[in-house]
Chains A and B, each alone.
Chain A
Amino acid sequence: MTTTSATPLLEVEGLKTSFKTSRGIVKSVDDVSFVIPAGTTLGVVGESGSGKSVTSLSIMRLVARGGGSIDDGVIRLNKPGQPAIDIRNLDEKSMRRVRGNDIAMIFQEPMTSLDPVWSIGDQIIEAVRLHQKVSRAEAREKAIEMLRLVGIPAPESRVDDFPHQLSGGMRQRVMIAIALSCRPALLIADEPTTALDVTIQAQILNLIRRLQKEIGMSVLFITHNLGVVAEIADRVAVMYAGQVVEEGPVRAIFSAPRHPYTVGLLKSIPTPGSSSNPMASRKLDTIGGAPPDPVALPHGCRFAPRCPLAIDECQKAPPPLFPVGENHGARCIRWPEVSK
């Protein structure tokens, strides 16, 4: 990986994002902090509804569309050699220059992420011409070049294709081509492989890794798949009920997890032979219970109702993030007793 400079590319401190719903205010993201050093990948894992996607949409400042608002916290983008950008307080016009240019995003649903009535070439050209002063012909050349870069065969002719003529994997490649066309400093990938076949998943992951090296960008990779995190991330943040419950280097998270939820997630990864030969392997573990109701969160530790290690004290006060190792934190008062 590239050398880590003193100031990380992205700093998120105490982020709080909430949504108004008919049942009350949902604190989707509640006091989330992390940093992403330049050129590195942060994997964010967690169940559905744990606040992963809302965190990424907050960084893009796109939560208002869904009725959400960023209530507190700092989101700072430090591009090398340039003044820091305070994303939360940026005016909308400047924010549009950040979106797609400094921070680009790819989404979970490649089948519905492209405009069906625009050719894929035009959709790349649109992104290029928004952020760079180039002619249409140059932008078209750039689009073909990007399609070649993401591994679309015969890009000179496919550039005029429409989304419905492409498979899901090909469309996700086009999405990546759009996202990377302006060489962003940060790529946010929100479950980019979830909707794809397993073989295509591996191709897309390799593609993101390769392009990351070529462009030197940072990646915020959101997934619920720990296997994918092990493949791609330098650091991991585990989210539960709107909070980061454990954060650390990928090696430490996998070998010495210090939060019972992380342990539960690791145990629920299926291993080869787990079902075909029950005599030879362990039963697949699950985490009992369900995530808490977002409008009525537990007062103390949010995982306590499902936690095998929970004691009375866990219910009393929300636990802080304890430093449990080098660059490794866990939100659990019994962290020394947690082990795999």
Chain B
Amino acid sequence: MINFLLARIGSAIITIFGASILAFVILRAVPTNPARLIAGPFANDEVIAQVTSQLGLDKPLFVQYFDYIVSFFAGDWGFSYSAGQPVLSQIVQRLPASAELALYAFLFAFIGAVFVTVLVSFLASKWLDRLLRLLSFISVGVPPFWLALLFLMVFFEQLGWFPGPVGRGPAPGSVHTGLFTIDYLIAGNFSGFATALHHLALPALALALGPFGYLVRLLRANLLDIVNEPFVTVLHAKGVAPVSTHFQHILPNAFLPTLTAGGLILAQLLGGSVLVERIFVWPGIGTLVIDGILRQDYAVVQAFIMLSAIIYIGVNLLVDILYGYVDPRVRRS
């Protein structure tokens, strides 16, 4: 198990370096001159040359890359000229909002999909199964931004059950994790927790529905495959009750693809969602990145690419480790 872990961590580090080279090269290949952008349209050549050397853009590429990596690990992720502050502090401000939204969307999608699908396959009802297939079909097809607007129209405007597009709601007094729901819980403030959850519900559900449908379809197909395996007949012949057969044997055997897909979905959600964040005025990272791209604020974009890569690789590492727990064949090979 230790070797397995070390091998996975080793390959994760190599992948992150690969991603860093990619992020670096792509942004250097863009024709825009960052020094010109920063100095503004009326700056003369002298000023631009000064900014260029300030940014280190006159050095050879590999030296620039080396400087970039060293400062990245030192916590200097560059300076956002459009916001007038360091990129890292911008990200630290905004990442928790996106992370909290992503985690709740993921929990809704993953737990909901596993629960509903396993229940329906256990009940083996043809009608429930058809209903579930229809539901998953629809949820995969509906775009989240449209759903977000629909939710606002129905649950905010018409029914008034949920808050409108006002962001995350009131911030908790003391910050521990940056996740409002968790911080309220730590403070023991349950009404604050409920308010934060209330604000999260609509955007999280809008983001969750697509992944939910996808996971339902995946898990349903895998469960159907396993149900017909000969070992399931053997279990019945041993006298194992249907509940144990389903939850202790069939589900673990059918679960691996869902776990993998779940990891990818979580990583994708953690990268922030531009449209849903915009619609709900959510102070997340998606908005930051879009602004960064539009203003050609390359330090922001570069930092975001690196951050996404690290999140993807980190989540996948976690999934690999979980894989080993679920399936002994992965652990031993």
Residues of A within 8 A of B (CB): 60, 62, 65, 96-101, 104-105, 107, 109, 112-119, 126-127, 130-131, 162, 164-165, 175, 178
Contact = CB atoms under 8 A, between A and B. Distances in A.
A117 B329 CA distance: 8
Interface stretch (B88-96, B233-241, B295-303): B233-241
A119 B249 CA distance: 12
Contacts of A178: 234, 238
A114 B235 CA distance: 9
A98 B241 CA distance: 12
Given A116-B329, A118-B249, A127 B238 contact: yes
B230 interface: yes
22 contacts: A65-B236, A96-B241, A97-B239, A98-B239, A99-B238, A99-B239, A100-B238, A100-B239, A107-B237, A112-B229, A113-B230, A113-B231, A114-B234, A115-B231, A115-B235, A117-B249, A126-B240, A127-B238, A130-B238, A130-B239, A164-B329, A175-B234
A107 B234 CA distance: 8
A18 B239 CA distance: 23
| B interface, over-half SS | helix
Most chain A Cβ neighbours within 10 Å, of B235, B238, B241, B253: B238
B157 interface: no
Interface string B123-151: 00000000000000000000000000000
A42 to B, nearest CB: 18
Contact of A112 (B230, B235, B237, B240): B230
B327 interface: yes
* Among all A-B residue pairs, the 8 with the closest Cβ atoms: A100-B239, A99-B239, A100-B238, A105-B237, A112-B230, A162-B328, A96-B239, A113-B234
Given A109-B230, A114-B231, A162 B329 contact: yes
Nearest to A118: B249
B326 interface: yes
A112 B249 CA distance: 13
Contacts, number: 73
A130 B240 contact: yes
Interface string B221-236: 0000000011101111
Interface of B: 229-231, 233-241, 249, 252-253, 326-329, 332
Nearest to B327: A117
Nearest to B245: A115
B253 A117 contact: yes
A99 B327 CA distance: 28
A112 B231 CA distance: 6
Given A99-B239, A101-B239, A65 B233 contact: yes
A127 B234 CA distance: 11
A131 to B, nearest CB: 7
Contact of A117 (B234, B241, B328): B328
Contacts of B239: 96-101, 127, 130-131
A264 B295 CA distance: 87
Nearest to B253: A117
Given A60-B236, A114-B234, A127-B238, 17 more contacts: A99-B236, A99-B238, A100-B239, A100-B240, A104-B238, A107-B230, A112-B230, A116-B253, A116-B327, A116-B329, A117-B328, A117-B329, A126-B240, A130-B238, A130-B239, A164-B329, A178-B238
Nearest to A175: B234
A115 B252 CA distance: 10
Contacts of A105: 234, 237
Given A101-B239, A115-B253, A165 B332 contact: yes
B231 A62 contact: no
Most chain A Cβ neighbours within 10 Å, of B229, B233, B234: B234
B226 to A, nearest CB: 10
A142 to B, nearest CB: 15
A159 to B, nearest CB: 14
B251 to A, nearest CB: 10
A129 to B, nearest CB: 11
A131 B252 CA distance: 24
Contacts of A100: 237-240
A62 B332 contact: no
B252 A104 contact: no
A162 B230 contact: no
Contacts of A96: 239-241
Contacts of B234: 105, 107, 113-114, 175, 178
A165 B328 CA distance: 10
Contact of B233 (A107, A116, A119, A130): A107
A127 B241 CA distance: 11
B238 A62 contact: no
A263 B230 CA distance: 34
Nearest to A119: B328
B327 A62 contact: no
A100 B233 CA distance: 12
A104 to B, nearest CB: 7
Contacts of B238: 99-100, 104, 126-127, 130, 178
Nearest to B236: A62
Contacts of B328: 116-117, 119, 162, 164
Nearest to B329: A164
Contacts of A101: 239
Nearest to A109: B230
Most chain B Cβ neighbours within 10 Å, of A97, A98, A113: A113
